[in-house]
Amino acid sequence: MRAKVLSFVQMKGGAGKTTLCVNIASTLSDRSNVLMIDTDYPQSSLETWYQIRNEKYVIENMQVKTAKNLTQLQKLVRDNLDDYDYILIDGHPRITNITRAVLMLSDLALIPLSPSQVEVWSTKHLAEIVKEAKKANTHLETRLCWNRYRVRTNSAEAVVNEAKELLKIDALPVKLGNRVAYLDSFAQGLTVAEWHDQAAKVEIWSLTSGIERLLDKQGSHRIKTEAQVEKFAKGKN
Ligand SMILES: Nc1ncnc2c1ncn2[C@@H]1O[C@H](COP(=O)(O)OP(=O)(O)O)[C@@H](O)[C@H]1O
Ligand SMILES: [Mg+2]
């Protein structure tokens, strides 16, 4: 079976795309072979994380490659579809032809979001592109993924409700807390599963299981052709 393609998209930098990507990839790699594609060149924080990890530890079942442009992205996904169980694409912080192509190549696109009104409003444009992408890539699933969530605050709950109304994209049930474990483990080339914060471990594990179930339920679909991806990337449906 071909690799499942899971992507992290959000037009804002700092939303948690790379953090989610490495933590989910690492959990998946316990049982599966995972390729991550860094599209945020030249910032390349995913690639940097991997280099730090690689200098200190033996990495199994997990690789990182960089796509600097649309052609490289398409080639990397297509060339590796049969060699991995999962391909995770770490998006970059703008809506470009790459972001559009990522949506066309994905089975599931996750949109990390922290519970602030401003972030919800600024995600509206992305939600419109997602809607457009779903017409062209009909099996695409998308989910909001609440990050840096403050539990038991009325304001956070109000924002979640507003996002549901405004963006019309379902959210994953697991919300990630605002925890230094994400920051500190990343800096060491590690993940929260390898860190001393039990709550962070549990939430990443639950989040990843939910994602696996979603992808399993979806079954196997043919990936869009190069021409179809190219056309949508250039803004044509
Ligand atoms: N749930 C969280 N709790 C605390 N810090 C977080 C959390 N998620 C992300 N961060 C931190 O926020 C910063 C931006 O996250 P990052 O994943 O690099 O965002 P993006 O890839 O969307 O630009 C990083 O320093 C990261 O460690
Ligand atoms: Mg990033």
- Output the pTM of the full model: 0.97
Q: Does a structural domain hold residue 236?
A: no
Q: Which residue from 72, 145, 130, 140 is spatially nearest to 100, judged by alpha carbons?
A: 130
Q: Residue 60 is part of which domain span?
A: 4-218
Q: Does a structural domain hold residue 226?
A: no
Mean pLDDT of the chain: 96
Residue 154 has pLDDT above 90, yes or no: no
| Sign (positive or negative) of CA dihedral 75, 47, 2, 92 | negative
Q: Does a structural domain hold residue 235?
A: no
Calculate Rg over the CA atoms of the chain. Answer: 17
The total of structural domains in the chain comes to 1
Residues with a beta carbon under 5 angstroms from ion ligand 2: 17-18, 40, 45
Q: Which residues pair with 7 in a beta bridge?
A: 89, 109
DSSP structure string for 121-156: HHTHHHHHHHHHHHHHSTT-EEEEEE-SB-TT-HHH
Structural element, H or E, at residue 36: strand 34-38
Q: Does a structural domain hold residue 223?
A: no
Task: Supply the residue whose CA is at minimum distance from atom 8 of ligand 1.
Answer: 16
Q: What average pLDDT does range 221-231 have in this prediction? A: 96
Q: Does a structural domain hold residue 228?
A: no
Span 76-94, pLDDT tens digits: 999 999 999 999 999 999 8
Q: Are 6 and 210 in contact (CB under 8 A)?
A: no
Residue 237 has pLDDT above 80, yes or no: no
Q: Are 104 and 91 in contact (CB under 8 A)?
A: no
Q: Which of 11, 19, 147 to mutate to test the pocket of ligand 1 (most atoms within 8 A of CB)?
A: 19
Question: What distance in Å separates the CA atoms of residue 126 and residue 114, rounded to the nearest whole number?
Answer: 15
Is residue 199 in contact with ligand 1, taking CB distance under 6 Å?
A: no
Between the CA of 101 and the centroid of ligand 1 the distance, in Å, is 24
Q: Does a structural domain hold residue 224?
A: no
pLDDT for 151: 79
CA 21 to chain centre: 5
Q: Which of 119, 147, 183 to mutate to test the pocket of ligand 1 (most atoms within 8 A of CB)?
A: 183
Per-residue pLDDT band for 13 (boundaries 50, 70, 90) equals confident
| pLDDT > 90 fraction of the chain, expressed in percent and rounded | 92
Residue 159 has pLDDT above 90, yes or no: yes
Length of the chain: 237
Q: Does a structural domain hold residue 8?
A: yes
Q: Does a structural domain hold residue 231?
A: no
Between the CA of 44 and the centroid of ligand 2 the distance, in Å, is 7
CATH number at residue 60: 3.40.50.300
Task: Supply the residue whose CA is at minimum distance from atom 24 of ligand 1.
Answer: 183
